Amino acid sequence: MPTIEDVARLAAVSTSTVSYALSGKRPISAATRRRIEAAVAELGYRPHAGAKALASARSEVIGLMVPMRAGIDVAVIMQFAGGVVLRAREHAHDVLLLTQDDLEGLERVTDGAMVDALVVMDVEADDARVPILRRSKQPAVLIGLPRLAAGLSCIDLDFEAAGRLAALELASLGHRDIALVGSPPEVHERHTSYAERVTRGFLTGAAEAGVAARAVACPATPNDVDDVVDRLLADAPGLTGLFVHNERALPHVLHRLREHRRSVPRDLSVIALCPEETALSQQVALTSIDLPAHTIGSLAVDMVMARLTDSGYPAETRLLAPTLTTRASTRAPGGH
Amino acid sequence: MPTIEDVARLAAVSTSTVSYALSGKRPISAATRRRIEAAVAELGYRPHAGAKALASARSEVIGLMVPMRAGIDVAVIMQFAGGVVLRAREHAHDVLLLTQDDLEGLERVTDGAMVDALVVMDVEADDARVPILRRSKQPAVLIGLPRLAAGLSCIDLDFEAAGRLAALELASLGHRDIALVGSPPEVHERHTSYAERVTRGFLTGAAEAGVAARAVACPATPNDVDDVVDRLLADAPGLTGLFVHNERALPHVLHRLREHRRSVPRDLSVIALCPEETALSQQVALTSIDLPAHTIGSLAVDMVMARLTDSGYPAETRLLAPTLTTRASTRAPGGH
DNA sequence: CTGAAAGCGCTAACAC
DNA sequence: GTGTTAGCGCTTTCAG
């Protein structure tokens, strides 16, 4: 592989001129720049990433921690990751992939200067990564809200508002008895914050609107979903509105309702909290609150880059307002 | 951050001794090693990745190209990626994430020595990455089969054998008229090799067994799936066996069959080609040929590491034999 | 079994 | 607008 020195020689300039021409960090005459570009092209020169990182104290890589355990909502994860990678490339950065639980890996890449910044997904209330991130010199942004976010940037959908929005929407359609089919028990047990926030928002919204509401956790396997739905219908015979925040359970919930001869939306209105694609690929096009995972991933990168570029840039918490799109799964109760 | 020099000073040895103690590349006396370990622990020393890469010409990172375009089978992708990341860590390597279509990124990371090796997923017949990989100095392993694999390692499920296995299984149960519901049209258009291989295997197997067979491509959206199923049932009124290789369409296929009052497995036997988890999370537990994506990811890393460790290690193509697990969705035709 | 020292390829003062 | 050069932190000969 050619080095910067080869380029310099061929262009008949010094290595520093090549370096500056490539980085744009100081003005270079048009003629010189042209010769350098020609030399670069002719040799097929690429800067050595390690050498660059060593000399500049910047790796131009951002770390991304993604949950890989089974039972995770894969579609959402992929959208986050896609948003992160695409946006990182637009900022001329690469992405190093770490798994959620790899705490030692987190320390390795931060202390070893492999990454300039971090994006971590699926944050829990008392996330073990938070203290590590706090003491690392790299900026980080969390997707999700830990209990103590001080000093760290966070971004997420405003899940509490989303829960509330769903409850109010159902109430305003005239439903008086509604329920939330929420995240799997494991997610609650981990105190992943979105699960609790959705629940709180939903129940609060229902209370405000004066309608009866309940919230249940829901595993993802077909049989377990059936049980949850069966129990719900038994416990709340007057139920007419459902809010589902559980992508894996969603198809099974809809299926079980059909087996109970409860037609959507005639007998039961359903709102889902999921990516648009998911809402559209069910049997009935679902009224949904969008989970804009791709956008959140992109914004997370923007936030982290802002802090990288401008070291005075403050940490911030951003909660995206939920938006509801009405489709074919909701209407007023009582056969219209 | 402490450097190797700080460690050396504290342990009262030279930097080279620290380096060798850490790498194990030459024998170190027990006493010296102990002092070095103590110093490392006390200082919280972590080698600087860039410096290491520069001096050793090894980044200890492997690149992973994953498809992020919409319409991809996300669950399978995540399993591959999970297998790759976990196994890479076991080989003390990190993973750099690249998107499928980022050819310029591929050249950047190989020529810039960001990665020591590459794993690329979802290979097409005339994949544009193949020539780039061939001329890069890093070993690569492809998940999938390009037309010309010479010099590159490949690994994949033996999709042709899988297709054949499904046809023979259905035939041996007594089905005389069977069909393959295959990948979406886009996948065929890209000439992603597994799609063609499954088809060929399925039709060949059916011919061998002397049963009627047809193969159709299948989009993933509910309505399109309905159309495909409708047409299939109209064209082949005597159809009693179905082989589905399309994870996203799978639930909709099953749903549409139900709407046609075709009970599985009473009226129609169904075999799926998908990860076990998917087969188990349908309404009926499906007889399936496993797509061991996690295992393939792990093996891909093993293969690439073998070539990294031992530069004489030859390129090879590995096709994993398919295995079929009988569950509740298959039986002999004709109401038993 | 251990040390000294020469780079690895690039950046960023510091010169002019 | 351009050149010189001293590192960045590590690995790895070469010496002992």
pLDDT tens, residue by residue, A292-323: 999 999 999 999 999 999 988 999 999 999 99
Which DSSP symbol is given to A152?
S
Question: B15 with B52: CB under 8 angstroms?
Answer: no
Specify the residue for token string 């829990």. A124
Strands A212-216 and A153-157: unpaired
SS3 category, A283: coil
pLDDT of amino acid B335:
61
Distance CA A306, CA A222 (A): 44
Residue A127 scores a pLDDT above 90: yes
Bond preceding residue A265 cis, omega within 30 of 0: yes
User: How do residues A219-261 score in pLDDT, each as one tens digit?
Assistant: 988 899 999 999 999 999 999 999 999 999 999 999 999 999 9
Residue B308 lies in a domain: yes
H-assigned helices in chain A: 4-11, 15-23, 30-43, 49-56, 74-90, 103-111, 129-135, 159-173, 185-189, 193-209, 222-235, 250-259, 276-280, 293-309
Chain A closest-CA separation from residue B256 CA (Å):
10
Chain B closest-CA separation from residue A176 CA (Å):
31
Chain A closest-CA separation from residue B206 CA (Å):
32
Question: B6 with B43: CB under 8 angstroms?
Answer: yes
The string over A250-282, giving b where at least 16 C-beta atoms fall within 10 Å of a residue's C-beta and e elsewhere, is bbbbbbbbeeeebebbeebbbbbbbbeebbebb
Strands B324-325 and B287-290: antiparallel
Give B219-253 as a DSSP string: -SSHHHHHHHHHHHHHH-TT--EEEE--TTTHHHH
Residue B336 lies in a domain: no
**Nearest CB to A112; choose among B46, B64, B105:** B46
Residue A325 scores a pLDDT above 60: yes
Question: A200 with A163: CB under 8 angstroms?
Answer: yes
Tokens matching residue B295 = 């295992």
Chain A closest-CA separation from residue B276 CA (Å):
12
Backbone angles phi, psi at A83, to 5 degrees: -60, -40
Chain A closest-CA separation from residue B282 CA (Å):
7
Residue B329 lies in a domain: no
Residue A91 lies in a domain: yes
Instruction: Answer yes or no: do B167 and B269 share one domain.
Output: yes
Strands A324-325 and A287-290: antiparallel
| pLDDT by residue, tens only, chain B of 336 residues | 999 999 999 999 999 999 999 999 999 999 999 999 999 999 999 999 999 999 999 999 999 999 987 667 888 999 999 999 999 999 999 999 999 999 999 999 999 999 999 999 999 999 999 999 999 999 999 999 999 888 899 999 999 999 999 999 999 999 999 999 999 999 999 899 899 999 999 999 999 999 999 999 999 888 999 999 999 999 999 999 999 999 999 999 999 999 999 999 999 999 999 999 999 999 899 999 999 999 999 999 999 999 999 988 999 999 999 999 999 999 999 764
Tokens matching residue A7 = 């380029």
Question: B301 with B60: CB under 8 angstroms?
Answer: no
Residue A335 lies in a domain: no
SS3 category, B33: helix
With 0-12 / 13-18 / 19 or more C-beta atoms within 10 angstroms meaning exposed / middle / buried, residue A312 is: exposed
Tokens matching residue A123 = 């944050």
SS3 category, B197: helix
Who contacts B253 (Cβ-Cβ below 8 Å, separation ≥6)? B181, B218, B225, B228, B229, B242, B244, B246, B270
* Residue B167: CATH number of its domain: 3.40.50.2300
Question: A162 with A198: CB under 8 angstroms?
Answer: yes
B74-90 helix and A74-90 helix, angle to the nearest 10 degrees: 70
Chain A residues whose beta carbon lies within 8 Å of the beta carbon of residue B90: none
Q: Which residues pair with A68 in a beta bridge?
A: none
With 0-12 / 13-18 / 19 or more C-beta atoms within 10 angstroms meaning exposed / middle / buried, residue A135 is: exposed
Domain that holds residue B33: 4-56
Chain B residues whose beta carbon lies within 8 Å of the beta carbon of residue A252: 283
Give A29-57 as a DSSP string: -HHHHHHHHHHHHHHT----HHHHHHHHS
**Nearest CB to B108; choose among A46, A102, A255:** A46
The residue among B37, B10, B44 whose CA lies nearest residue B21 is B37
Among B56, B73, B100, the domain boundary falls at B56
Q: How many domains does chain A have?
A: 3
Longest dimension (CA), chain A: 84
Q: Give the closest nucleotide to B20 (alpha carbon vs C1').
A: D11
Instruction: Answer yes or no: do A284 and A164 share one domain.
Output: yes
Stretch A205-225: mean pLDDT: 95
Check A78 against B74: CB less than 8 A apart: yes
Residue A335 scores a pLDDT above 80: no
Instruction: Answer yes or no: do B86 and B205 share one domain.
Output: no
Question: A195 with A158: CB under 8 angstroms?
Answer: no
User: How do residues A102-118 score in pLDDT, each as one tens digit?
Assistant: 999 999 999 999 999 99
The residue among B280, B314, B295 whose CA lies nearest residue B157 is B295
**Which residues in chain B, range 262-281, keep a C-beta under 7 Å from any nucleic strand C atom?**
none
Instruction: Answer yes or no: do B112 and B81 share one domain.
Output: yes
Instruction: Answer yes or no: do A172 and A274 share one domain.
Output: yes
Pick among A1, A43, A46, A221 to test the B interface (most B CBs inside 10 A): A46
Instruction: Answer yes or no: do B181 and B282 share one domain.
Output: yes
Distance CA A17, CA A28 (A): 8
**Nearest CB to B112; choose among A46, A64, A75:** A46
Instruction: Answer yes or no: do B52 and B22 share one domain.
Output: yes
Check A97 against B82: CB less than 8 A apart: no
Distance CA B293, CA B74 (A): 11
Who contacts A113 (Cβ-Cβ below 8 Å, separation ≥6)? A53, A57, A59, B1, B48, B49, B50
Distance CA B269, CA B265 (A): 5
Instruction: Answer yes or no: do B254 and B315 share one domain.
Output: no
Check A48 against B283: CB less than 8 A apart: no
Q: Give the closest nucleotide to A52 (alpha carbon vs C1').
A: C10
Q: Does nucleic acid strand C have an atom less than 7 angstroms from the CB of A261?
A: no
Instruction: Answer yes or no: do A151 and A87 share one domain.
Output: yes
Residue A336 scores a pLDDT above 70: no
User: How do residues A161-191 score in pLDDT, each as one tens digit?
Assistant: 999 999 999 999 999 999 999 999 999 998 9
Instruction: Answer yes or no: do A253 and A306 share one domain.
Output: no
Task: Round to a whole number and report the distance in Å from the CA of A16 to the C1' of D4.
Answer: 9
Backbone angles phi, psi at B319, to 5 degrees: -120, 120
With 0-12 / 13-18 / 19 or more C-beta atoms within 10 angstroms meaning exposed / middle / buried, residue B267 is: middle
Question: B81 with A68: CB under 8 angstroms?
Answer: yes
Q: Which residues make up the interface with nucleic strand D when CB must lie under 7 A? A: A 12-17, 20, 26-29, 31-33, 51, 54-55; B 1, 3-5, 15-16, 19-20, 22-23, 25, 45-48, 51-52, 54-56
Pick among B114, B247, B284 to test the A interface (most A CBs inside 10 A): B114
User: How do residues A10-37 score in pLDDT, each as one tens digit?
Assistant: 999 999 999 999 999 999 999 999 999 9
Question: A140 with A117: CB under 8 angstroms?
Answer: yes
Check B50 against A59: CB less than 8 A apart: yes
Residue A333 lies in a domain: no
Residue A71 pLDDT level (bands cut at 50, 70, 90): low
Residue A149 pLDDT level (bands cut at 50, 70, 90): confident
Instruction: Answer yes or no: do A125 and A190 share one domain.
Output: no
Sign of CA dihedral B6, B9, B14, B19: negative
Question: B84 with B64: CB under 8 angstroms?
Answer: yes
Length of chain A in residues, anyone?
A: 336
pTM of the model: 0.95
A222-235 helix and A250-259 helix, angle to the nearest 10 degrees: 60
Task: Round to a whole number and report the distance in Å from the CA of A50 to the C1' of D8.
Answer: 11
CA-to-CA dists, residue B282 to A135, A282, B220, B275, B329, angstroms: 45, 14, 16, 12, 10
**Nearest CB to B95; choose among A97, A113, A280:** A97
pLDDT of amino acid B150:
83
- A59 → chain B, closest CA residue: B50
Task: Round to a whole number and report the distance in Å from the CA of A19 to the C1' of C11.
Answer: 8
pLDDT of amino acid A261:
95
Length of chain B in residues, anyone?
A: 336
* Residue A19: CATH number of its domain: 1.10.260.40
Residue B270 lies in a domain: yes
Residue B333 lies in a domain: no
Question: B83 with B295: CB under 8 angstroms?
Answer: yes
Tell me which protein residue sits closest to nucleotide D13, measuring alpha carbon to C1'. Answer: B16
Bases of chain C below 7 A from a protein C-beta are 1-5, 7-13
pLDDT of amino acid A151:
83
The string over B62-71, giving b where at least 16 C-beta atoms fall within 10 Å of a residue's C-beta and e elsewhere, is bbbbbbbeee
Instruction: Answer yes or no: do B123 and B211 share one domain.
Output: no
Tokens matching residue B49 = 């990745």
**Nearest CB to B68; choose among A78, A220, A252:** A78
Q: Which residues pair with B157 in a beta bridge?
A: B320
